[in-house]
Structure 1
């Protein structure tokens, strides 16, 4: 934390010029004595901070001094700024920290790079909140304090206790050993173990969360990518309703946001897509496919085709005639 405070102190002096010890202490939320110690540390490290005595005195940096990321070229800096835009800034609840880091990157760039990179970053937009059809993205609503507790427990290797509200069920309390966080299609999952058994939780379904002081029982090293593939394969093998469906391209995203899992995907002539997906059960499948109107056609199973046909016939009869 002290290293971060020293960087902030230098940036404050660079951006605001002369500042008193009291002003610096107020900005950094530390004591004046701590500021004076930090000034001494910077001077020892070769940062040209000097004091102006007198009534209007304070601390300033030698004119023209700046920190530079000498190993960062234009495209590397642009990649960092672009990655920090759009949905990327909201991943794992680190948007504020990411924004702060981006400001430091821009400030530390050489003068010639800074102007061109700042302009170039304005020309790129990553994952806006709506597409050309004004459809909003399906970003989850995660309680910030919950995300903070989950993230801290994962990084610190401590047990996590949380209230979890599964669909159509009252919240239940779970205590787990967290392994890692995975974000897929704007949904964030906690991979964990509970009493030695594998568990996967949607973070958006956590009502409360608390990092516990007890250390988590987990391996020191973990291949999160391999673990996710294994759990996905296990999930696909569970007893859900398999469905083969043709879907129009303008309805595909909506369908993918509803299904339990996708087993196969094949593009057909004319732009339609043939998908093998799974639903919870027949009721879930009827509800989901009906929402897509004429933008989807179920090919199998026959039980789902019959259920949709019966519903359509009932509505046709209801609205028949004048």
Structure 2
């Protein structure tokens, strides 16, 4: 009904594509709308389709222009498929537009088009990689979380074989394009990355979890415990201060830092492991130097040797290759 109000005349196939259902379902829905008193009529002919009687309006609560703009802007965020709610979001946005007073609809939708939050690529065309989460898995996990039911997941932790686990789900969190399930197992906190859930099944039994929870506080507490208890790699480094924020974004934590006489920073940082530290330091090029541990310097030296060999000038015999 909202699609017909906003777009005028649409064919059954166009409605089916938009709503992700079959044309048979659309025809049944049109009959149901007519039976409920909604004035839907058919335009015959090559460019025909279904339309609403001009002036018909759904009974929805009105929004002021700023409220509508806030919702429309939120709906433009790149994470439309977060937690499998993309279709629901599209439907909600149609209702938002329809609820705006007629005189403000054009202004609100135009304003929303002029605000873009977190696009998929930055100015250097570096794209964020979306996580591969099965729609079936996401639907089962979300249903379990919202219904307060126990959940059975087939989970592949990093470096381990996949195994089935029974958990009591608490909530879902998305951080920097990564989605997590916060849960309890026998009363103990557990955090699962959704891209590593291979299969999921919402069970009939109710979850054993607190009736109320502050998800933001819970996430912060778990993050603090992770940083304190699971950090395994400490690095001492020198750094051009112009690159400090870039390194701070990739390290787990900055333990200590001081300014040296030459203007550079001497820092002590924590990383997940040797590979994580090597990647973070290497991408800063000559603007950073790892001082310790020795195995990190060895890895960076080996990378440098291999890169130098790859880009060394070709010898005279190679220059004649055709």
Separation in 2, partners of 1:127, 1:316: 34
Residue of structure 1 equivalent to 2:151: 160
Q: 1:91 aligns with which of 82, 91, 94?
A: 82
| CA deviation map 1:79-127 (0-9, x unaligned) | 1111111324232221221111111211221111111112122212111
Is 1:151 equivalent to 2:150 in the alignment? no
* Alpha-carbon spacing, 1:150–1:74, altered in 2? closer, same or farther (3 Å): same
Aligned pair in 2 of structure 1 residues 227, 26: CA closer, same or farther (>3 Å)?
closer
CA distance in 1, matches of 2:30, 2:40: 18
Counterpart contact for 2:248–2:254, Cα < 8 Å: no
Any idea what SS the aligned residue of 2:290 has? Answer: strand
CA contact (8 A) 1:70 1:110 kept: no
Deviation of 1:26 after TM superposition, in Å, equals 4.0
- TM-aligned CA deviation for residue 308 of structure 1: 4.5
Q: 1:181 aligns with which of 164, 172, 180?
A: 172
2:277 is equivalent to residue 285 of structure 1:
yes
Residue pair 1:25, 1:35 contacting (<8 A) in 2 also: no
Offset from partner CA, 1:143-196 (integer Å, 9 cap, x none): 222111111110000111111122232222111000011111221111101122
> Unpaired segments of 5 or more residues in structure 2?
12-22, 42-49, 316-322
RMSD across aligned positions (CA): 4.3
Question: Bigger CA drift: 232-241 or 176-185?
Answer: 232-241
Q: 1:43-65 CA distances to partner (integer Å, 9 max, x unpaired)?
A: xxxxxx5699xxxxxx9977523
Which position in structure 2 is the counterpart of 1:214? 205
Over 3 Å counting, the alpha-carbon distance change for 1:266 and 1:78 in structure 2 is farther
| Structure 2 equivalent of residue 42 of structure 1 | none
Q: Which residue of 2 aligns with 1:56?
A: none
Residue in structure 1 matched with residue 289 of structure 2 by the alignment: 297
SS in 2 for 1:213: strand
Is this contact kept in 2: 1:263–1:275, CA < 8 A?
Answer: yes
* Structure 2 counterpart SS, 1:87: coil
Contact 2:65 2:108 in 1 (8 A): yes
Counterpart-to-counterpart distance in 2, 1:292 and 1:298:
11
- Aligned residues of 2:3 and 2:94 also touching (Cα < 8 A): no
Does the 8 A contact of 2:153 with 2:197 survive in 1? Answer: yes
Change (3 A) 1:69 1:76: farther
Residue 92 to residue 254, structure 1, CA distance change in 2 (3 Å)? farther
* Partner in structure 2 of residue 193 of structure 1: 184
